Structure 1
Amino acid sequence: MTSDDLGRLRRAALRVDARTPAHRDRALDGLRALALMAVPTGHWLLGGLTRSDDGALHNASPLSHLGFFAPVSWVLQMLGVFFLVGGHASVLSLRRATERGDSTAAWLRGRLARLGRPVVGVTAVWALLLPLLHASGVPGATLRTGAVLVVQPLWFVGVYAGVTALTPYSVRAARRLGGWAAAPLLGAVAVVDLLRYGPWASAVPDWLALVNLLPGWLFAYQLGVAWGMGRFGRRGAWLLLCGGAALFAVLLLVFHYPASMVGVPGEARTNSHPPSLLVLALASAQCGAAVLLRQRLGRWLRRPALWAPVVAVNLSAMTIFCWHQSAMLAVAVPSAAFGSVPGLTGAPDSLGWVAARLCWLPLFAAALLGIGRLTRRFETPWTGVPRAVRTAAGALAACFAVYALAVV
């Protein structure tokens, strides 16, 4: 990079900084960007692909072979922080909407539309891509693998939409109980885990685990709502940090919860689908640390060079989230023609794979940047788009959903 390039980047960063309102809470944006970028990093680093003899690609995971990767998942699983910031932002957004005279239903429709447009966009595009890729000779097994990878992060959008719809109720709970409103959610997950993993586990139906979906992901969001209302501060943050860390250690060392925060192929138990008590313990510690670091992070982000990337990430949040797996596939699928490529389509079972995968990450990021330039329009309101086009996009998205459900 030349000095002229560096100069242009500095000037751009200064312009972004100058356009930022003085009242903007930069720390919240920084936390959101950090949690968001942990998602593609985690999927790119903790997920792998292997090439079979017929040239098809299949999902694989280094966690099946490299046990030391489990602590990496503790760092990269930052959904607790994302829900925390989401709850904080939602309560402030709802308050502003109410002050403008908007109804809660209108506010919710706007929030859900912002989440739904990019999801419809990515699934509609993939519905068009699948027959084209099949016609070009891409194996069916590769297409099924791709569909699984594309859908993998999208479940989160549905969960996030669900907890967002509960914002008015979270506000009422936080108004009465403050940060303690999240405690019953933690207790509910603990009870379900006790039933699932206790001595009577064989008599407990498998569907009971699904009960953890709502309280498990609402926990950090409820904390964020209380934080946004000023009902949760540094004392509670210290309690969360220390209590969450202690509970995390006890669950790992005494109750032998799986060490990985994401699912490991072949393992009978998983922490994330649905969330176990270990996920909430980690979220507690992360949320406590986030609240405690808020002021310091805000000061750091007064520097234009640090603030500009945060703005860029937040402006393209859903694009990054919805398309990062497609970026990896855009690199991996063509490479299958060249055999097993280390770090890309080779077995993720050695330190050599880790080193090679780290070298591939910049290319994945470049592919995501290129895809994002074309697809970011899905995040903006579809005003001016003909009704027939919107209807066709919805129909294509539904077709992809049916296909994905059949192969996941």
Structure 2
Amino acid sequence: MRDLARRIDAATPPGRDRAVDALRAIAVLGVVLGHWLVTALVTDGGALRGTSPLAHMRQLAPVSWMFQTLAVFFLVGGYAATRSHGRARSRGTAYRQWLGSRLARLFGPVAAVLTLWTVASVAMLAGGTDLGTLRTLLNLVLSPLWFLLVFAALTAATPLVARLHPLWPLAVVLHVDLLRFGFEAPAALRWINLAAGWLVPYCLGAAWARGGLRGRGTGWALLGAGAVATAGLVLWAGYPASMVGVPGQTVSNLAPPTLAAVTFGLAQCGAALLLLGPLRRAMRRPVLWAAVALLNLSAMTVFLWHQTALMSVTATGLLAGAPLPGLHTAPDGPAWVLARLAWLPVFAAALAVCLAAFRPYEHGTRRGRSSRVVLRSAPARGSRTHV
């Protein structure tokens, strides 16, 4: 492993900003761990239904603050896409070719997920699986795909939004929420925020790529203003404290993003900018950088298959004949939390199996071909790094 780490470190261009890759890795791990901690599949009369510990223990809302890291992903996405598009234009690369290469990495692994779950769904229906159980499982598999659609749309719009000031989409979110909650506007109006809400951190990333957001003062300003605004919205404006959806709540901060979710994202972006210095120092260590680089190379596979890993462990646990604590039992107390923490390594092992099986689809390769892949994640300058 040390030899692999040294080879990855030596193959990385000196000008690469490794902290950008580290932020992406943090964002991906936040999503994965967040889902594994707040998603519960409980047995109910022979069927599985989805619930969340946040619905039973509201005091755990701060857990969602730690693991809802999508704003950081959109920040890094805006940064990477803006720099990539700038380099493509300087080389004379056509927009269609540039966009196709970026979207191929996003949607290449999706086909494998949809194919497997289509076959699995047919098999489960033929085997007499309860429709409610199947609906619960498919919802967990398919719900992350909304993120890819939004991210792909913003990537395609990069030439148009790269110079858009983040305050403009923030103002859209503010007015949509005002109409929605203050004047009982039609519920369909809220879906405008699905694009506008994530456009805020995306535009911040584009500004960062253009040389803006320099200095620690910007990071502190975003962190402070975002945190104060979020606290005010939760305490006095009635927004949910949880930054993820909670079964039974009438309002979710994520479906679509509310003003509270966007201001919370601003605080996260500020924290991310403040972490750049420490992350750059940490990434000088070959072992840490190798871990980040390898995770970035498999980021889409990890994102798409982590819920399948959780469900496979849950289904296998049913063979025990009795509900297993932290896996099939109701998430209604501290004992469940401790038991779920003990299951995390098992989920990780199942995800490793999924990685071994489906990672080639992320790079358009097959087994038996060269395992050498290209590290493309947000390079600062220099040639691509082959690992």
Query: TM-score, normalized by length of structure 2?
Result: 0.91
Q: Hey, what does 1:359 align to over in structure 2?
A: 342
How many aligned positions are there? Answer: 365
1:93/1:191 CA distance change after superposition, 3 Å: same
Q: Does 1:110 align with 2:110?
A: no
Q: Hey, what does 1:26 align to over in structure 2?
A: 18
Partner residue of 2:167 out of 180, 183, 199 = 183
How far apart are the structure 2 equivalents of 1:28 and 1:85? Answer: 7
1:127-142 equivalences under 5 Å are: 127-136=118-127, 138-142=129-133
Q: Does 1:229 align with 2:210?
A: yes
Per-residue Cα deviation, 1:263-319 (whole angstroms, up to 9, x for no partner): 111111111001001111111111112112212211111111211111111010000
**Residue 194 of structure 2 contacts residue 257 of structure 2 at CA under 8 Å; is this kept in 1?**
yes
1:245-324 equivalences under 5 Å are: 245-324=227-306
1:324-339 equivalences under 5 Å are: 324-337=306-319, 338-339=321-322
Deviation at 1:153, TM superposition (A): 1.1
1:248/1:92 CA distance change after superposition, 3 Å: same
Q: Does 1:241 align with 2:236?
A: no
SS state of the match for residue 57, structure 1?
strand
Q: CA RMSD in A?
A: 1.6
Per-residue Cα deviation, 1:206-227 (whole angstroms, up to 9, x for no partner): 1111111111011100000010
How far apart are the structure 2 equivalents of 1:383 and 1:17? Answer: 26
Q: Hey, what does 2:59 align to over in structure 1?
A: 68
Whichever residue aligns with residue 66 of structure 1, its letter is M
1:382/1:366 CA distance change after superposition, 3 Å: closer
Q: Does 1:119 align with 2:110?
A: yes
How far apart are the structure 1 equivalents of 2:259 and 2:163? Answer: 25
**Residue 57 of structure 1 contacts residue 336 of structure 1 at CA under 8 Å; is this kept in 2?**
no
Q: Does 1:211 align with 2:192?
A: yes
How far apart are the structure 2 equivalents of 1:382 and 1:99? Answer: 29
Deviation at 1:382, TM superposition (A): 6.3
For structure 1, the residue ranges without an aligned partner over 5 or more in a row are 1-8, 174-180, 385-408
Q: Hey, what does 1:193 align to over in structure 2?
A: 177
Q: Hey, what does 1:390 align to over in structure 2?
A: none
For structure 2, the residue ranges without an aligned partner over 5 or more in a row are 368-387
Q: Hey, what does 1:170 align to over in structure 2?
A: 161
What percent identity do the matched residue pairs reach?
A: 47
Per-residue Cα deviation, 1:166-194 (whole angstroms, up to 9, x for no partner): 10012243xxxxxxx00111111111111
Deviation at 1:113, TM superposition (A): 1.7
SS state of the match for residue 58, structure 1?
strand
Q: Hey, what does 1:46 align to over in structure 2?
A: 38
1:72/1:383 CA distance change after superposition, 3 Å: closer
How far apart are the structure 2 equivalents of 1:383 and 1:323? Answer: 18
Per-residue Cα deviation, 1:191-249 (whole angstroms, up to 9, x for no partner): 11111222x32xx1111111111110111000000101102222432321111111011
Q: Hey, what does 1:381 align to over in structure 2?
A: 364
**Residue 163 of structure 2 contacts residue 203 of structure 2 at CA under 8 Å; is this kept in 1?**
no
Per-residue Cα deviation, 1:335-375 (whole angstroms, up to 9, x for no partner): 22423111001111111110000000100001001111110
Whichever residue aligns with residue 318 of structure 2, its letter is A
SS state of the match for residue 59, structure 1?
strand
Query: TM-score, normalized by length of structure 1?
Result: 0.86
How far apart are the structure 1 equivalents of 2:365 and 2:159? Answer: 27
